[in-house]
Amino acid sequence: MLTIPEFIPLQSIKHLSNEKVLVDLLRIDQFHPIVSGNKWFKLRFYLEEAIYQQKNTIASFGGAYSNHIVALAYTCQQYGLASIGIIRGEQPAKLSHTLQAAIQFGMQLIFISRSSHNEKEAVKKEFGKESWYWINEGGYGLSGAAGASTILDTLDATSYTDIVCAVGTGTMMAGLIKKTNMQQKVIGISVLKNNFSITQEVNALLTAEESNRNFEILHAYHFGGYAKHPAELLQFMNNFWEQERIPTDIVYTGKLMFAITDLLQNNYFTNGSKILAIHSGGLQGNLSLSNGLLNFK
C-alpha cells in the first residue's frame, strides 16, 4: 500500500521571491514517480471506503491523458483491487502513454462515445456490477476533498498568507480550504474556460463555516481552455524550467505558475505576503506534445 510521506519537499522559488513577497512551492509532484501529485491524496479515502464496503473493483471515468486514470490504475494494483477506466472517445489505433500505463497496471479500459460520457448514470447501469465501487471523474466528491486536505498535513502551513493551486474539478481546492484559517486565503486558478459553475462545485464540498473562509477562483489563466497550450504558455514553462529546473505541465501547473508570476507583476499580493503554491504533479499531459516543444519532459 502507498503511504503519505511525512515530508514533502518545499522549494523556494527564488526568482519570484524578494524582500516584499516570498513564494514557496510544495513539490507533491515528487513524492511518487507514477502517482505523482494530488491524485493519490484525492483517491486515498475512496479506496479505503471501497475496501470497507468489500468491493473488489474500482471504476472511474477519464480522458486519454488523465492523471486520475493512471493514478487509479496504479493504486488499485497496490491495494489488490481490480480497476476499470471508462474512457471518453473511440478507442484509438494507438493508445496514449497514459492509457498504456493504465493497462500495464492492470486496468481494464472501456471506451464510450463522447456524448454518452455525459450520461454517466446510464453508463454505470450498463456496465456496473454490484462488486464495483464508482469514483467520479477526477475524484470529485467529499471523500476526495477530505483526502486532498491531507496535503496540508505534510507541513506547517500556518505561516502562509496565500495558498495557490490549479483547479480542475475543484476537489483539491476544497480540501485546501478545509485546512486554512481565517487569516489565510486560498486562490484557485481555473484551467477550464469560463467554468463559472466551479465556485458552486467547490462550495458543495464545504460546510457552511468553510464556505465563509477566504477563497477566490480566477478565470483569466485558462489559455483557451482545458489542455490548450499556446506558444506563450510553452515558452513560459521553458523559461520556468531554465530558471528553477522545475518541470510543469501544460494542463495544470504551467498555468498555475504563469498565473502566480502574472499576479505578482500586477501587485495582486500585498507586501509581506507569503505564498504557498501547490505543485500538484501530473506531468502526463506533456506526453501529448510532440518532441522538442519543451526543454524537459
Ligand X SMILES: *Cc1c(COP(=O)(O)O)cnc(C)c1O
Which position among 37, 85, 147, 247 is part of the footprint of ligand X (CB under 6 A)? Answer: 37
CB of 82 to ligand X, least distance (A): 23
Q: For ligand X, what does the binding mask look like between residues 84 and 123, x meaning CB under 6 A?
A: ----------------------------------------
Which position among 50, 64, 67, 87 is part of the footprint of ligand X (CB under 6 A)? Answer: 67
E strand or H helix that includes residue 75:
helix 67-79
Segment interacting with ligand X (CB under 6 A) among 55-63, 94-102, 162-170, 218-226: 162-170
CB of 97 to ligand X, least distance (A): 15
CA dihedral angle for residue 35, residue 40, residue 43, residue 48, rounded to 10 degrees: 100
Q: Residue 75, interface with ligand X (CB under 6 A)?
A: no
Helix (H, G, I), strand (E, B) or coil at 24: strand
Segment interacting with ligand X (CB under 6 A) among 18-26, 76-84, 156-164, 275-283: 275-283
Please say which residue, 81 or 145, places its beta carbon nearer to ligand X: 145
Applying CB under 6 A, the site for ligand X has a residue count of 18
Helix pair 253-265, 231-244: axis angle to 10 deg: 80
Which position among 85, 168, 247, 254 is part of the footprint of ligand X (CB under 6 A)? Answer: 168
Asked whether the beta carbons of 234 and 293 are under 8 A apart, the reply is: yes
Q: Residue 254, interface with ligand X (CB under 6 A)?
A: no
Q: Which residues pair with 106 in a beta bridge?
A: none
* Long-range Cβ contacts of 248-252 (<8 Å, 24+ apart): 248/279, 249/282, 249/283, 249/284, 249/285, 249/286, 250/285, 250/286, 250/288, 250/289, 251/65, 251/168, 251/191, 251/226, 251/227, 251/282, 251/285, 252/166, 252/168, 252/191, 252/280, 252/282, 252/285
Q: Residue 252, interface with ligand X (CB under 6 A)?
A: yes
Which position among 60, 171, 180, 199 is part of the footprint of ligand X (CB under 6 A)? Answer: 171
Three-state DSSP string of 231-281: HHHHHHHHHHHHHHCCCCCCCCHHHHHHHHHHHHHCCCCCCCCEEEEEECC
With cell 485546512, the residue in question is: 179
CB of 68 to ligand X, least distance (A): 6
Which position among 62, 63, 141, 170 is part of the footprint of ligand X (CB under 6 A)? Answer: 170
CB of 267 to ligand X, least distance (A): 26
Which position among 154, 248, 280, 286 is part of the footprint of ligand X (CB under 6 A)? Answer: 280
Q: Site residues (CB under 6 A) for ligand X?
A: 37-39, 67, 138, 166-173, 252-253, 280-282
